[in-house]
């Protein structure tokens, strides 16, 4: 398994690598950006450098967050690597939809079971399994890890990617795959909102039972929080998608009476919209939250 280095860009104290590689699970070439913090170059006291995976929202490539979220300053401050995966496979041959909310740029971080999507849209296995394995192999040659992509890792994301982070964290909660999870303006209950219903119906079929394995508001009822773990969420009050598609209060309601009650720290922030102006404003708080769980502070 190998990566092509398409660009190596000096940012803050480290380097942003724009990579592409072949994914066997999505049967396609995938782009991914990695920010290596300054500690990678100056030394991290012999400890492997942990990673945070940032899952982006609808229409995004790995570039949006790399250019506009300002994670790099935080990565240098605490000493973690950032991984920015793409939101779907891309290319003329990838089944798409005329609208921005489905198909290319809208993989919804799940494993499609329906034609014609299932051959390529296996984004759950890609993000949570194959990509970390391939990164480990490429950067560490499977020994003496200098960069930790597998064990001491956390996950976050925005909008569709916020849902992807919550869903992936909860689905892998019992194996402690992720040390912590946060989200910016996530779709918290995809089964019950238009963006999610369109995606789940087309990728997973009409049987709503199969949708539940991915829905954060269902997963909080199924997955027991045995470790007093908290999830951090920021949501802007002037987000144009809040009332129809994001509906963050539904997660709080779903968690009521479960082991996640009072464990979801939803912070409604006055006047913020859905954009990277909003995301970048709260990245420092999320960075500190994850840095604590990754043992960096």
Ligand X SMILES: N[C@@H](CCC(=O)N[C@@H](CS)C(=O)NCC(=O)O)C(=O)O
Is there a catalytic annotation at residue 101?
A: no
* CA-based nearest residue to 85, from 139, 127, 36, 29: 127
Say how many Å lie between the first and final Cα of the chain, rounded: 34
Interaction of residue 33 with ligand X, rule CB under 6 A: no
Interaction of residue 49 with ligand X, rule CB under 6 A: no
Beta bridge partners of 205: none
Rounded Cα–Cα distance for residues 271 and 269 (Å): 6
Pick left, alpha or beta for residue 35 (phi over 0 → left; psi -120 to 50 → alpha; otherwise beta).
beta
49 or 104: CB nearest ligand X: 104
Beta bridge partners of 30: 21
Interaction of residue 69 with ligand X, rule CB under 6 A: no
DSSP 103: B
Q: Among 127-135, 144-152, 167-175, 274-282, which window interacts with ligand X (CB under 6 A)?
A: 274-282
Structural tokens at position 270 = 């006055």
Rounded Cα–Cα distance for residues 266 and 55 (Å): 19
Interaction of residue 70 with ligand X, rule CB under 6 A: no
Rounded Cα–Cα distance for residues 93 and 90 (Å): 8
Structural tokens at position 193 = 């909102």
Q: Which of 88, 239, 286, 290 is catalytic?
A: 239
Cα 157 → chain centroid: 4
Q: Which of 128, 158, 234, 274 is catalytic?
A: 274
Q: How far is CA 37 from CA 51, 52, 176, 234, 235, in A?
A: 10, 12, 24, 25, 28
152 or 202: CB nearest ligand X: 202
DSSP three-state, residue 211: helix
Structural tokens at position 26 = 């999505």
Interaction of residue 275 with ligand X, rule CB under 6 A: yes
Answer for which of 28, 64, 122, 171 binds ligand X (CB under 6 A) is 64
For 93, the enclosing helix (H) or strand (E) is none
Structural tokens at position 92 = 């003329």
Q: Which of 88, 154, 159, 180 is catalytic?
A: 159
Answer for which of 71, 80, 84, 276 binds ligand X (CB under 6 A) is 276
Answer for which of 17, 58, 123, 204 binds ligand X (CB under 6 A) is 58
Q: Among 111-119, 164-172, 208-216, 270-278, which window interacts with ligand X (CB under 6 A)?
A: 270-278
Interaction of residue 280 with ligand X, rule CB under 6 A: no
Interaction of residue 156 with ligand X, rule CB under 6 A: no
Interaction of residue 29 with ligand X, rule CB under 6 A: no
Interaction of residue 246 with ligand X, rule CB under 6 A: no
Count of residues binding ligand X (CB under 6 A)?
12
Interaction of residue 100 with ligand X, rule CB under 6 A: yes
Q: Hey, which residues between 162 and 201 contact ligand X (CB under 6 A)?
A: none
Is there a catalytic annotation at residue 274?
A: yes
Structural tokens at position 160 = 């569709």
> Which residue's CB atom is positioned nearest to ligand X?
57
String of contacts with ligand X for each residue 115-154, x by CB under 6 A: ----------------------------------------
Interaction of residue 160 with ligand X, rule CB under 6 A: yes
Provide the binding-site residues for ligand X, judged by CB under 6 A. 57-60, 64, 100, 158-160, 274-276
Residues with catalytic function:
159, 239, 274
């Amino acid at each position: 398994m190998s990566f092509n280095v398409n660009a190596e860009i000096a940012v803050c104290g480290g380097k942003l690598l724009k990579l592409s590689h072949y994914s066997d699970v999505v049967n396609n070439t995938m782009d991914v950006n990695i920010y290596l913090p300054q500690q990678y170059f100056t030394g991290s006291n012999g400890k492997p450098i942990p990673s945070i995976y940032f899952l982006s929202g609808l229409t995004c490539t790995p570039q949006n967050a790399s250019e506009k979220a300002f994670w790099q300053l935080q990565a240098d401050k605490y000493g973690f690597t950032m991984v920015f995966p793409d939101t779907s496979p891309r290319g003329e041959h990838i089944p798409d939809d005329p609208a921005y909310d489905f198909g290319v740029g809208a993989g919804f971080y799940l494993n499609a079971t329906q034609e014609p999507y299932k051959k390529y849209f296996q984004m759950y296995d890609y993000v949570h399994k194959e990509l970390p394995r391939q990164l480990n192999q490429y950067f560490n040659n499977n020994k003496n890890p200098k960069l930790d992509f597998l064990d001491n890792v956390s996950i976050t994301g925005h909008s569709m990617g916020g849902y992807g982070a919550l869903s992936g964290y909860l689905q892998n909660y019992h194996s402690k795959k992720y040390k912590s999870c946060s989200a910016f303006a996530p779709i918290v209950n995809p089964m019950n909102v238009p963006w999610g219903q369109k995606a789940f119906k087309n990728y997973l079929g009409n049987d709503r039972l199969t949708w539940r394995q991915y829905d954060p508001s269902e997963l909080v009822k199924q997955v027991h929080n045995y470790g007093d773990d908290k999830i951090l969420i920021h949501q802007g009050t002037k987000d144009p998608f809040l009332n129809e598609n994001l509906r963050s209060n539904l997660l709080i309601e779903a968690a009521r009476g479960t082991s996640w009650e009072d464990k979801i720290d939803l912070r409604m922030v006055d006047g913020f919209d859905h954009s990277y102006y909003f995301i970048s404003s709260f990245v420092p708080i999320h960075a500190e939250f994850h840095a604590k769980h990754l043992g960096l502070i």
